[in-house]
Structure 1
Amino acid sequence: MAHFVKGLTIFLILINQYQSAEVPSVASKLGSITGETKSVTFQGNKYQVDRYLGIPYAKPPTGDLRFQPPQPFGPFSETYNAVDFGASCPQPIYPFMPVEKKTDEDCLFLNIYVPRQKPDEPSGHAVMFFIHGGGFSIGSGVIYDGAVLSSVGNVIIVTINYRLGLLGFLDIGNEKASGNFGLLDQHLALQWVNENIDAFGGDKDRVTIFGESAGSMSVAMQMLYPSNKGLFRNGITQSGALSLPFPGLYVENNIDAAKYYAKNMSCTVDTLADVINCLKEASHENIIRIVQDAMDSGGMDAAYSVSTAPTIDGKFIRHSPEEMLQKAETETCEELKFFRSIRLMNGVNGNEGASALLMLGDAENLDDLEITREQMNTEHIPGTLAFLYGNKTVSDVVNQLMISEYTDWENPDDPKRLREQMINLYGDIYFNAPCVEMSRVHANETDVESYVYNFLPRLDKPLLPLPKWVKYANHGDELGPVFGYNFDPQVLFNISEYTPPEWELDLSNRIMKYWTNFAKTGDPNKPDSKLLAWPKYELDSQSYIKFNREDSIDQYFSARPTEFWKKIVPAVIDATEHAQTVTEQFGKKEEQTCDKDGNCG
């Protein structure tokens, strides 16, 4: 009897242990999915979150499905064990970026982080759907662990992979390769969430999409795609807007890039059929090798030759978003109406232009970098004009106008001031002016919810190498605070352990609350009212929030650079391109003669 009691006791203990370590499981429309529970800590608070990793949302885009829109994966034939990340999409290795250890063309997976807390609404948890950046050529959902953001904000986080580079954006103008597959992957993943997130305790009517850099541009483009109606209600764009200049963006096709790849694979390029057959038969490793070789060559021409980005394919993107923004004051269309129906939170970092420094030399030497007046006048400004207006005739008047705008006239030749002006130049062109233009267009209605931020603080450990003389946050620096610093310091900083300073953790806590408040209610101030009140962005006041060690409210963010780049420079280019003399305009007048008394006839 004693042995029986002892055995029963051990059995009950084991059963209790098993139940306490119960494997999380959901019964979705596609079948049963199991995950795992993880513990996370933020500012001394411990949380538990259920993770479901590597769930396929589309069939492998291989074979006949390469260069084609994604196809839904369909139901699972047996219980799907979602405890490992799926492969990342094929991509080259970029300096200073995390290296993807496992890549494969079968890469269309998503990851779901569910907090073990009661949802804020009976309908379920609000959902935040993250689109990673990386210039449409690198990155994956693996990098962004949503466990802390999910737990602190009490929302569900979804991260995804989508096709990149040539495999994601080849557009030769016909059904063989019509382009924008990466954007269509994102759309299909959003449909998957809409149809299945309720099984995970999510509210499909409270989905917010957010992204950074190219992921931010993707969010904005998804907001212009009316077929997304009902799939999300809010968008957060971090350091990437619709009119951000980017190689190969919004062109009609990228046939030249396709030919470059084919030529470098020793294929015939006499016809488009030859090119597409070559690229369909190539291994993804060979495709990535072409990109890597172009990058490693150090030449900008080669790098641009392999660049592929969203194109005007006539389906996902029917019109140039840049032109739509320019005409938005007086014209509208179906895309703009949908864009304005989605609540928007949009912003950039303090010194986004510092990301351009990595093109100018070794990261180790950036502290000593100086820019001469000659370099500014003959390299940076003309190079920028060539990139922005390569298809236009740009007179020297425009060059001189830019020199005047980006000169500190108290110290016009100071190399240290010139290097600061250089990062201001790149920051205004690529981030600040596009950000403000997009928010102005979005806010140009009476019933929209629009918010703007500027993330300023220089962090203890910036994401990218940053010289000491740069005062404010660089590109990507807000990602640590947004995700609660839940990253691998060994991968990012080559150190085994790292704890951010307390003021950064406080900032992160505020950022996560603003972001998740917005996801829950469409208002970053609610339901947590202890935060500094973040005002709406309206055309008359243009109020915005500045994130720093202490947050503050300001007005008219980058108003001058936006006016300069979006109105003055285009107007001067147009005027000088079509310049006419008075004689040409009004016809040659006959010369008058006058007598000695001043009478002219």
Structure 2
Amino acid sequence: MEIMVRFIGELSIFLILINQYQSAEVPSVSSKLGTITGETKSVTFQGNKYQVDRYLGIPYAKPPTGDLRFQPPQPFGSFSETYNAVDFGASCPQPSYPTMPKENKTDENCLFLNIYVPRQKPDEPSGHAVMLYIHGGGLSIGSGVFYDGSVLSSVENVIVVTINYRLGLLGFLDIDNEKAPGNVGLLDQHLALQWVNENIGTFGGDKDRVTIFGQSAGSTCVAMQMMYPSNEGLFRGGITQSGALSIPGMYHENNINIAKFYARSLGCSFETKDEVLKCLKEASSETIIKVFVDATSSGDFESAASVGATPTIDGKFIRHNLGDLLKKAETETFEEIDFFRSVKLINGVSGDEGAMFLTMGGSAETLEEFEVTREQMNTQQIPGAVAIMYGNKPVPEVVQQLVISEYTDWVNPDDPKRLRQQVVDLFGDFFYNSPAIEMSRVHCNGSDVDSYVYNFLPKLDKPLIPLPKWVKHASHGDELGPVFGYSFDLRDLFNISEYTPPEWELDLSNRVMRYWTNFAKTGDPNKPNPGLSVVWPKYDVSSQSYIKFDREDSIGQYLYARPTEFWKKIVPAVIDATEHAQTVTEQFGKKEEQTCDNDGNCG
């Protein structure tokens, strides 16, 4: 009897160990949607080893194909059998490019999400804080597969979620009726947030501590989700990296003319909306992408602009031009602004955002000797930038002269090397810096929640976009490596098989990840986890304090205050005054022609 008891006891211990081993190898969760199995991955960061459970390619919406093309997403529902989530789902249709990750495949059935769960005890009894990432790519390219959340999740003990959403024409077609209502890519993101709210608890997450973050166009999407009151309760914080609400050209009333361009390019009739929609619903996603690629590679600016489907003022997700709302928020009340201010915010930009526009003129090597003459600055660079702001209409001469004066180093106004930096400053201020600061000013003004601002400065050893050596600071996207703990596939990105970032960059990454995840856990980037050398101050309209990320972090004030004042107040005021003066001249400036009667009396 004693032997039998001993045998049963040993067998029980053996079975327990086997069960633990199997669960370690094949993580599994049982949810209301069904059973989902994943895989465990080991990662190393700064010499320390971590483990993370990955659940990849989970469908959160039905395939947006057939009758569901151009329509709002529908929840996927439950699984009829165990779902084996070990492979990334397809990315949404998009142009291919050399640095695409090898795992990336595209298909219209693409509404998947990926979940990274640390193998550590949660920091709170309610579960792990959750960070949902919205990728960038100009709303035309990108995928959740590009961003491995393993290091960020396991090192800092948070759940990371990455998502796919519909892109380009398939994500943003708006022909001004319910057959193609527009902004379905944004609604995909909203549905993914709902899925996380309803299901993340199964994975050990705390649905009341969700933070959304994104970069570039993904950052703008984060800001737009923060302006959508129907998201109330789905997240409590947002982190916007180099993308704001008032980026020029972001919103249109609809995309009918863009839809007609696609239909015409596909050889379809385009006289009526129904003809256009029939054409675009019957076309394959491959042919739609080909129209985009042909137009954007043609060298013709007008054709390239004709395929850029953007968010539209659809009356539902976006009821007003969100950039205009920021201006009106000083004196008027809007539901969108109230919701925006109810969510905590980290917002920032890189030191030389405008340097990315240099890549349109050549490679890093060819740009090393790039210089700009005074004439080129006055007749090409500045008129081109102002024309974008002015809707590609003729730009008043007084406005051009105002911008020329602002972007001239008057100590040495004709120095070609100084002028090329002015080009970088011009495009950085116009597209990124002043929109970002305007957004943070609105968020913190009259708000009871916390607002934080950063400037990411360091020139990295391997910048995301290769640039000439004379560019002194970080450019667009350079913070992504540190934010994700350098978890990218370097072979795909840089064509290198073995690379370790310098130790100072890994230290920087450690700090950035800590600030981001502290914010996700508590709403304060400075706590609960210490070990950070600089206390990140809150941003307010009086002190305008912010953190400067560099080899050594520090605190600054009044980040891009002058460019923000210039582009958001002075230039619009001059444009309005010029248009008003022109209207007055047209109405009252012309002398009436005199008429004379037969007696010679003229009047």
Query: Under a length normalisation based on structure 1, what TM-score does the superposition of the two structures give?
Result: 0.93
Q: Specify the SS of the correspondent of 2:365.
A: helix
CA distance in 1, matches of 2:235, 2:361: 40
Aligned-partner SS, 1:408:
coil
Q: Distance in 1 between matches of 2:583 and 2:349?
A: 43
Tell me the distance in 2 between the aligned counterparts of 1:587 and 1:119: 73
- The partner residue of 2:41 within 32, 38, 42 is 38
Instruction: Report Cα offsets for 1:266-299 as digits up to 9, x if no partner.
Output: 1111111110000000000110111111122122
Q: Residue 555 of structure 2 aligns with which residue? A: 553
Out of 178-187 and 98-107, give the one that drifted further. Answer: 98-107
**Structure 2 counterpart of 1:172, which letter?**
I
With over 3 angstroms needed to count, the CA separation of the structure-2 counterparts of 1:101 and 1:142, relative to structure 1, is closer
In structure 2, the residue corresponding to 1:357 is in which secondary structure? Answer: helix
Stretch moving more, 354-363 or 70-79? 354-363
State the match for 2:601 in structure 1.
Answer: none
Q: Distance in 1 between matches of 2:131 and 2:17?
A: 34
| Residue 18 of structure 1: how far off its partner (Å) | 6.8
Match of 1:591 in 2: none
Gaps of 5+ in 2: 1-9, 591-603
Alpha carbons of structure 1 residues 98 and 293: separation in structure 2 relative to 1, 3 Å = farther
Q: For residues 404 and 139 of structure 1, what CA distance do their matches in structure 2 show?
A: 38
Distance 2:260 2:344 in 1: 41
Which residue of structure 2 lines up, in the alignment, with residue 541 of structure 1? 543
How far 1:369 sits from its partner (Å)?
1.1
1:320-378 superposed Cα distances (whole Å, 9 cap, x missing partner): 10110011111111110000000000000000000100112244301111111111111
Distance 1:143 1:465 in 2: 18
Asked whether the 8 Å contact 2:351–2:475 carries over to 1, the reply is: yes
Aligned to 2:578: 576
Q: Secondary structure at the match of 1:244?
A: coil
Residues 219-238 of structure 1 aligned to structure 2 (within 5 Å) = 219-238=222-241
**Tell me, what secondary structure is at the counterpart of 1:382?**
helix
DSSP-derived class of the 2:581 partner: coil
> Residue 529 of structure 1: CA displacement?
3.0
Distance between the aligned counterparts of 2:125 and 2:171, measured in 1?
39
CA contact (8 A) 2:387 2:394 kept: no
Deviates more, 1:347-356 or 1:292-301: 292-301
What is the deviation of 1:530? 2.7
2:53 alignment partner, SS class: strand
For residues 99 and 302 of structure 2, the distance between their equivalents in structure 1, rounded to whole angstroms, comes to: 22
In 1, the alpha carbon distance for the partners of 2:283 and 2:209 equals: 42
What secondary structure does 1:46 align onto?
strand
Percent of matched pairs sharing the same residue? 75
Residue 19 of structure 1: how far off its partner (Å): 3.9
Q: Partner of 2:55 in structure 1? A: 52
Return the alpha-carbon distance in structure 2 between the equivalents of residues 358 and 98 of structure 1: 21
- Cα 1:392–1:366 change in 2 (3 A) is closer
Aligned counterparts, 1:492-511, within 5 A: 492-511=493-512
Q: Is 1:166 aligned to residue 169 of structure 2?
A: yes
1:333-348 to 2 correspondences below 5 Å: 333-348=334-349
Give the structure 2 partner of residue 86 of structure 1.
89
Find the aligned partners of 2:469 and 2:327 in 1 and give their Cα distance. Answer: 38
- Give the counterpart letter for 1:48 in structure 2: Q
Q: How far did 1:574 drift?
A: 1.2
Does structure 2 conserve the Cα–Cα contact (< 8 Å) formed by 1:393 and 1:577? no
Q: Which residue of 2 aligns with 1:379?
A: 380
How far residue 421 of structure 1 moved from its aligned partner, in angstroms, is 0.3
Letter aligned with residue 112 of structure 1: I
2:251–2:321 CA contact under 8 A, matched in 1: yes
> Using a 3 Å threshold, how does the CA distance of structure 1 residues 82 and 189 change in structure 2: closer, same or farther?
same
Residue in 1 that maps onto 2:142:
139
Shift of 1:13: 8.2
Unpaired runs of at least 5, structure 1: 1-8, 589-601
Question: How far off is 1:465 after superposition?
Answer: 1.5
SS at match of 1:544: strand
CA RMSD in angstroms, aligned pairs only: 2.2
| 3-state SS, counterpart of residue 127 of structure 1 | strand
Task: Note if contact 1:57-1:108 (Cα within 8 Å) is conserved in structure 2.
Answer: yes
Counterparts in 2 of 1:107 and 1:586: CA distance versus 1, 3 Å: closer
Q: Evaluate the alpha carbon distance shift between residue 435 and residue 121 of structure 1 in structure 2; reply closer, same or farther with a 3 A threshold.
A: same
Deviations 1:380-424 (A, max 9, x none): 111111111026663111101111111111221111111100000
Q: How does 1:436-447 map to 2 (within 5 A)?
A: 436-447=437-448
Amino acid at match of 1:245: P
Q: Which residue of structure 1 lines up, in the alignment, with residue 402 of structure 2?
A: 401
Q: Counterpart amino acid of 1:359?
A: M
Matched with 1:304 is 305
2:200 aligned with 1:197: yes
Q: Output the amino acid matched with 2:421.
A: E
Rate the CA distance shift 1:82–1:226 in 2: closer, same or farther, 3 A.
same
The answer for the alignment partner of 1:325 in structure 2 is: 326
8 Å CA contact 2:434, 2:567 repeated in 1: yes
8 A Cα contact 1:259 1:275, kept in partner: yes
CA distance in 1 between counterparts of 2:583 and 2:148 reads: 62
Separation (CA, whole Å) in 1 of partners of 2:14 and 2:31: 32
Specify the alignment match of 2:107 in structure 1.
Answer: 104
**SS of residue paired to 2:574:** helix
Q: How does 1:89-488 map to 2 (within 5 A)?
A: 89-94=92-97, 101-246=104-249, 249-390=250-391, 394-488=395-489
**Residue in structure 1 matched with residue 569 of structure 2 by the alignment:** 567
Could you tell me how far apart the structure 2 residues matched to 1:19 and 1:25 are? 12
Contact 2:99 2:492 in 1 (8 A): no
Pair 153,583 (structure 1): closer, same or farther in 2 beyond 3 Å: closer
CA 1:507–1:284: 2 relative to 1, 3 Å: same
Alpha-carbon distance in structure 2 between the residues aligned to 1:582 and 1:254: 33
Q: Comparing 55-64 with 437-446, which one deviates more in the overlay?
A: 437-446
CA distance in 1, matches of 2:255, 2:422: 34
Letter aligned with residue 185 of structure 2: G
State the Cα distance separating 1:583 from its structure 2 match: 11
SS in 2 for 1:113: strand
State the alpha-carbon separation in 2 of the partners of residues 38 and 93 from structure 1.
28
Change in Cα spacing, 1:499 to 1:14, as seen in structure 2 (3 Å) is: farther
CA shift in 2, pair 1:257/1:587, >3 Å: closer
Q: Distance in 2 between matches of 1:413 and 1:20?
A: 70
Determine helix, strand or coil for the equivalent of 2:29.
strand
Question: What is the CA–CA distance in structure 1 between the aligned matches of 2:20 and 2:187, rounded to whole Å?
Answer: 41
Secondary structure of the 1:128 match is strand
Give the direction of change, closer, same or farther, for the CA distance of 1:395–1:99 in structure 2 (3 Å limit).
farther
Q: CA separation of 1:488/1:435 partners in 2, compared to 1, >3 Å: closer, same or farther?
A: same
TM-score by length of 2: 0.93
Separation in 1, partners of 2:363, 2:127: 49
CA deviation vs aligned residue, 1:209-236 (integer Å, no higher than 9, x gap): 0000000000000000000000000000
Q: Report the 3-state secondary structure (helix = DSSP H, G, I; strand = E; otherwise coil) of the residue aligned with 1:578.
A: helix
Cα distance in 2 for residues equivalent to 1:571 and 1:359 = 31
